[in-house]
Chains A and B, each alone.
Chain A
Amino acid sequence: MPEEVLQAPLVLEYPFTRTTGPVVGRFLTGLREGVVLGVRRSDGTVMCPPLEYDPADALPLGEMVEVGQSGEVVSWSWGGPRREQQPFDQPVAWALVQLDGADTPMLHAVLVDGPEQMSTGMRVQIEWRDEREGHITDICGFVPENGEAGSQAAAVDLDSVEAVQSVRTPIRLNYSYTPGRALSEYLYAMREKRIIGDRCGDTGQVFVPPRGVSPVAGKATTETVDLPDVGYVESFNITRVPIATRPDLHPPYCSAWIVLDGASVGFMGLVVNCEPESVRLGMRVRAVWKPDDELEISATNILGWEPTGEPDEVIADIERIGRAGTQQTQRGAS
């Protein structure tokens, strides 16, 4: 391949909001009010943070009990430099902290300057966030115990305040994404207003966009082929409602499955420069490219597909086009 495989930054974000249920919700309500709750297990011990069930015997749990705001480091580690997503201003120690009155430890951060300030068995206390919303990050972290009361709240009746019922837990991950060799070549060709596909060595079928694989044969494709930028509409729909993430699309617009001349599969495109209502199965279309001085290494170089005015393709005669039939004869026998 003449040019380097493409890479681009990719950010994956999921704006999850999760329902909490009564036990986790009660715990988070407590955090908002500055108290820490555990749940009593079947054997009478207290688990903190609480689960709705006992991990030992799966029995449902529900009796919430307040535990202390100080405790002991059961184990710890030092993670090194701060990671981008972490809700801390500094590198932190990680610790399993067993709060006074609890029988299981919780995982959280200890806000110290370095591993030399950590030791197993050391006493730590909660450092509360000033503005709390009912979230595990209402605890900024733990700090070495200093004798000063951490919480100012205490005597709040949790039944008289609004219960936390959901929690925001967004995910954000950074990648350096590569589309691979075949799609890189496809995208480079787009810069020259060329559309390429790849051919299956077994069946002769041509796939576009190319992915380096023939799904029919289960083999790497053997040949790259140039396809014309003309074809026909195999199927279409007309969208009459706007999509928030695509303000550039003005309803009504027509999305179509377009089969290029010489291709064995269709791919998605917009039909433009005509009334959506005039689009029909078999209609011949041609690519509308961006002006030459705006071309990029991108599939967005094709702005849409406009009618050519040629006679329609007769798609009832699907054998002539050589699509479904090829698979049957080549692969159906085995």
Chain B
Amino acid sequence: MKDVAIVSFAQRQEAQIPDESEVEMMIPLMEKAKGAVGLSQQDMGFTCSGSSDFLAGQAFSFVMTIDGTGPVPPISESHVEQDGAWALYEAWVKLQCEDIDTAFVYSYGKSSPGSLRDVLATQMDPYYVAPLWPDAYAVEGLAARMLLESGKVSEQRLAEIACRSRLNAATNPHAVRNEKKSVEEILAEPYLADPLRPSDIGAIADGGAAMVLATGDRARSLCERPVWIRGIDHRSDAHTLGARDLTSAMSATIAAEKSGVRADRIDLAELAAPFTTSEAVLTEALGLGDSVDVNPSGGALAANTMMAAGLIRFGEIFERIARGDGDRGVAHAASGPCLQQNLVAVLEGE
């Protein structure tokens, strides 16, 4: 196995980016991530992106966005209709399998042109569920009530998660929900999708992220403190909500075991939890103890950029470890309703 590290990262998240097409939005990020390590597109052994046409209603969005990389002469390239963390995974596999030592990963999502609550209904079972158009908050509400009534989590605990996210987000320039609120104030919010309150639900954002990966000595030559991917795994639970226990995330638990989360001390974790309930489930599924600094950026609650929230978790861990705020961290990405799919990685500084 080759050692693969993150060597640079760029992100942008805003409540709305109404004036730019997706490629216009992504070019500065692509240039920034590549420029930070002095590489051009032609230096990249492989390029992989993540996006979904359904978010902005832009057919073949990813084909147009490739223009931003500068794919002339033609580049080795792939795309996943998934969060960019899965694009990172594909790039990691490619780095293991081929005689290349660099890879470029990017992903983006513009949810503001449409209604994300409704767009997400299209990812449900097409025979039994999607024709009913259950909105995404109501679907998570089903899991949330089970969690609350099982006694695993209290509304107080959910409010504490929301409170901490807002507090941490106050120092994150990319967060879109960063006004502080006390636990009492959060508990006083009326339900938006009973039993979920507005603060329980990730703030929808437009944006994207770009990242450069490199192997071994190439990584060491490109930046001062590469952040190594020590373990990475992704798993999927059944799509049928009735066939799984919504108060846990078996796929996250297995991915955490396979990626080595419990093998050593963890300083910090960034979880792509789009709801406070998801964060509560994931903290337990990953076995993160009280000593772990969870979502120091505010997490996906502070800015939930579809298709990029997971890749941004990798970037947030990378930036902290690269500047010495911790040595070992966990990056997590999720996809599908009620944490159906989970990707977990352990990152460690040089």
Do A and B come together as binding partners? yes
> Given known contacts A7-B18, A178-B19, A180-B21, is B42 in contact with A55 (CB within 8 Å)?
no
Chain B residues closer than 8 Å to A334, beta-carbon distance: 40, 42-43
Nearest neighbor of A86 in chain B, beta-carbon distance: B133
List residues of chain A with CB within 8 A of the CB of B141.
Answer: 76-79, 94
Interface 1/0s, chain A 193-220, versus B by CB < 8 A?
0000000000000000001111111111
Docked Cα-Cα span, A178 to B16, in Å, equals 12
Given contacts A5-B18, A105-B242, contact A175 B70 (CB under 8 A): no
Check B18 against A218 for contact (C-beta < 8 Å).
no
A12 interface residue (CB < 8 Å to B): yes
Cβ of A107 under 8 Å from chain B: yes
CB < 8 Å neighbour of A136 from B22, B54, B118, B131:
B131
State whether A80 and B193 are in contact (beta carbons under 8 Å apart), knowing that A10-B57, A120-B149 are contacts in the complex: yes
Is B36 positioned at the interface, with any CB of A under 8 Å from its CB?
no
- Chain A residues bordering chain B, tally (CB within 8 A): 69
Given A5-B18, A327-B73, the answer on whether A175 and B23 have CB atoms closer than 8 Å is no
> Known interface pairs A107-B129, A167-B127, A211-B64. Does A180 touch B24 (Cβ–Cβ under 8 Å)?
yes
How far does the Cβ of B115 sit from chain A's closest Cβ, in whole Å? 7
Contact of A174 among B114, B135, B246 (CB under 8 A): B114
Q: In this assembly, does A177 line the interface, its C-beta being within 8 Å of a C-beta of chain B?
A: yes
A258 CB contacts on chain B under 8 angstroms: none
Nearest to A327 among chain B residues (CB) is B72
Q: How far is the CA of A178 from the CA of B115 in the complex (A)?
A: 15
Question: Nearest chain A CB to B100's CB is how many angstroms away?
Answer: 15
A104 to B244, CA, bound (A): 9
- Shortest beta-carbon distance, A13 to chain B, in Å? 11
Known: A55-B244, A107-B134. A136 touches B127 (CB 8 A): yes
- Are B70 and A219 in contact, with the CB atoms below 8 A? yes
Given A49-B128, A213-B67, also A120-B114 (CB < 8 A) = no
| A325 → chain B closest CB, angstroms | 13
> Are A217 and B132 in contact, with the CB atoms below 8 A?
no
Q: Which residues of B (167-202) have their CB < 8 Å from a CB of A?
A: 191-196
Stretch of A16-24, A143-151, A296-304 contacting B (4+ beta carbons < 8 Å): A16-24
Task: Tell me the dominant secondary structure on chain A's binding face.
Answer: mixed
Q: Is the CB of B138 within 8 A of A94?
A: yes
Whether the pair B142, A96 counts as a contact (CB closer than 8 A) is: yes
**Given A120-B149, A181-B19, A218-B71 in contact, is the A83-B118 Cβ separation under 8 Å?**
yes
Whether B28 lies near A220 (C-beta < 8 A) is yes
Given A177-B113, A182-B24, A211-B21, residue A218 in contact with residue B142 (CB < 8 A): no
Report if A115 contacts B (CB, 8 A).
yes
Residue numbers in A under 8 Å from B122 (CB-CB): 171, 173
A residues 161-183 in Cβ contact with B at 8 Å: 167, 169, 171, 173-183
Is the beta-carbon distance between A220 and B133 smaller than 8 angstroms? no
Asked if A175 meets B19 with Cβ closer than 8 Å, knowing A77-B142, A85-B133, A331-B72, the reply is no
A75 and B192 in contact (CB under 8 A), knowing A96-B242, A180-B19?
no
Q: Is there a chain B Cβ closer than 8 Å to A137's Cβ?
A: yes
- The answer to whether A77 and B195 have CB atoms under 8 Å apart is yes
Specify the chain B residue showing the minimal Cβ separation from A28: B127
Contacting pair A109 B132 (CB below 8 A): yes
**Is residue A74 contacting chain B, with contact meaning CB distance below 8 A?**
yes
Verify A220–B27 contact, CB threshold 8 A.
yes
**B118 and A213 within 8 A (CB):** no
B292 an interface residue at 8 Å Cβ cutoff?
no
Cβ-defined contact, A175 with B128, below 8 A: no
Point out the residues of chain B lying under 8 angstroms from A137, CB to CB.
Answer: 131-132
Are A214 and B145 in touch, CB under 8 angstroms?
no
B41 at the interface (CB under 8 A from A): yes
* Interface hub of A7, A75, A108, A167 (most chain B Cβ within 10 A): A75
Query: CB-nearest residue of chain A relative to B196?
Result: A77
Is B139 among interface residues, defined by CB-CB distance under 8 A?
A: yes
Indicate if the CB atoms of B128 and A106 lie closer than 8 Å: yes
- Judged by a CB distance under 8 angstroms, whether B99 is at the interface is no
Contacts of A176 in B (CB 8 A): 113-114
In the complex, what distance in Å separates the CA atom of A52 from the CA atom of B73?
A: 46
Chain A's closest residue to B30 (CB) is A218
Instruction: Write out the residue numbers on chain B whose beta carbons fall within 8 Å of the beta carbon of A332.
Output: 73
A96 touching B131, Cβ below 8 Å: no
**How far is A85 from B244 in the complex, measured between Cα atoms in Å?**
27
Contacts of B194 in A (CB 8 A): 77-78, 115
CB interface residues, A 54-84, toward B, < 8 Å: 55-56, 74-80, 83-84
B92 within 8 A of A: no
CA–CA, A80 to B141, complex, Å? Answer: 11
Type the 1/0 row for B48-71, where 1 means its CB is closer than 8 Å to any CB of A.
000000101110000010111111
Query: Does residue B93 face the partner (Cβ distance < 8 Å to A)?
Result: no
Measured in the bound complex, the distance between the Cα atoms of B213 and A72 in whole Å is 51
Asked if A95 is at the interface (CB within 8 A of a chain B CB), the reply is yes
Question: In whole angstroms, how far apart are the Cα atoms of A220 and B27 in the complex?
Answer: 7
A55 engages B23 (CB within 8 Å): no
Pairwise interchain contact B114-A173, C-beta atoms closer than 8 A? yes
Query: Any chain B CB within 8 A of the CB of A238?
Result: no
The CA of A105 and the CA of B238, in the complex, are separated in Å by 14
Give 13 CB contacts A-B under 8 Å.
Answer: A24-B127, A47-B242, A76-B141, A77-B193, A77-B194, A78-B141, A94-B138, A94-B141, A107-B241, A167-B127, A213-B67, A219-B70, A331-B42
Q: Which residues of A contact B (CB under 8 A)?
A: 5, 7, 10, 12, 16, 18, 20, 24, 28, 47, 49, 51, 55-56, 74-80, 83-87, 94-96, 98, 104-109, 115, 120, 135-137, 167, 169, 171, 173-183, 211-220, 327, 331-332, 334
Q: Which 5 A-B pairs have the closest CB atoms?
A: A218-B70, A77-B141, A180-B21, A55-B238, A79-B138
